[in-house]
Amino acid sequence: MATGKKQPIVQFKGILKRFGKVVAVEKMDFDIEEGSLVTLLGPSGCGKTTLLRMVAGLEEPTEGDIFINDNVAFGLKYRDVPKEAIREKVMGALEMVRLPGVENRMPSQLSGGQQQRIAMARAIVIEPDVLLMDEPLSALDENLREEMRREVDNLQQMLGVTTIFVTHDQREALSMSDKILVMKDGQKQQEGSPEAVYNEPANHFVADFLGHSNFIQGEVVDVDDHHVNVKIETGDLLFAENKGGFSKGDPVEMIVRAQRFDAFPKDEFKPVEGMNYFEGRIKDRSYMGGEVSYFIELGADREIHIISMMRTRLYNIGEAVSVQVSPHHCHLIPME
């Protein structure tokens, strides 16, 4: 991943796109720094591919401007390259994607992973200012997708080429990106580093789309320098780390990632001062190899979802457990 603050190579200024009366992309401003890999993330129909097509010049913005490297056209600089130079560039690109010696093969003679590498070589051989990738791994099986994620990430870092990557896959976005732009219904929901959008989601949609989250509604009853005290629907009091912006009486939603909870057998649990904890029973579970997904019934039609690493034991359905989570991992957003 790119590091350090660099100048933007792509800038969206008040960009808006309509198809007839349908707004595909709402007005937005967004910068992409030179040498970074930026992911446009969101569900189908959210406008991410339309945004990419506008960068490529395949769609005209209805309003606003897109600036690319001082408006110098990219991808055209080698139209008149001599044949021998073209061959050298092709050989070099195939070496980069670890496919030397396949230049004379037909596509049907290549595996799915090799075809993806050829597509990458075709893109990088012209040394573009900006590399555009629209769901390039969606047709691959999971193991091959994981391999190709690493390939794309490593190649982008090696070349230092600014890359805009479109996906609906949260794992791809989190594992590869320098910056993520989360979109919904043509609107920017949040932009930031993978760590920022995952740990401090701006709203319910972002938290729900990125990972497995618990949403606990309540009201702020006290605020001090370190914590925000929230009374939830069950009447219990929970603490969240005070990151500013909330006052007594505010209706809030507390977001806790499923992986942030620790579970214990109820009869062995000893509460730790300053931690939030619940008691309940295992309602459902799904074994997933190295981790287990549990749904824990708390009573009063409330349940929480936790994902626990397989360290010591597997809890049985109906077993009484206690779970705890640090206020540091409890993120507050205003009630929508």
Sorted by where each begins, the domain ranges of the chain are: 8-74+128-207, 212-334
Residue 252's pLDDT band, with cuts at 50, 70 and 90, is very high
User: Which residue carries 């070099």 as its tokens?
Assistant: 92
Residue 334 to residue 336: CA distance in whole angstroms:
6
Instruction: Locate 71 and state its tokens.
Output: 């408006």
262-304 pLDDT tens trace: 999 999 888 888 899 989 999 999 988 888 999 999 876 789 9
5-62 pLDDT tens trace: 678 899 999 999 999 999 999 999 999 999 999 999 999 999 999 999 999 889 999 9
Share of the chain above pLDDT 70, in %: 81
Burial class of residue 189 (count of CB atoms within 10 Å of its CB; 0-12, 13-18, 19+): buried
Residue 72's pLDDT band, with cuts at 50, 70 and 90, is very low
What CATH class has 8-74+128-207?
A: alpha beta
Mean pLDDT in residue range 304-326: 89
What CATH class has 212-334?
A: mainly beta
Alpha-carbon separation of residue 87 from 84, 94, 190, 201 (angstroms): 5, 11, 43, 47
Per-residue pLDDT, 76 = 33
Spatial CA neighbour of 131 closest among 59, 48, 34 = 34
Per-residue pLDDT, 75 = 35
Question: What is the full DSSP assignment across 221-234?
Answer: EEE-SSEEEEEETT
Across the strands, what pairs with 130?
Answer: 162
Rounded-to-5 percentages of helix, strand, coil across the chain:
25, 40, 35
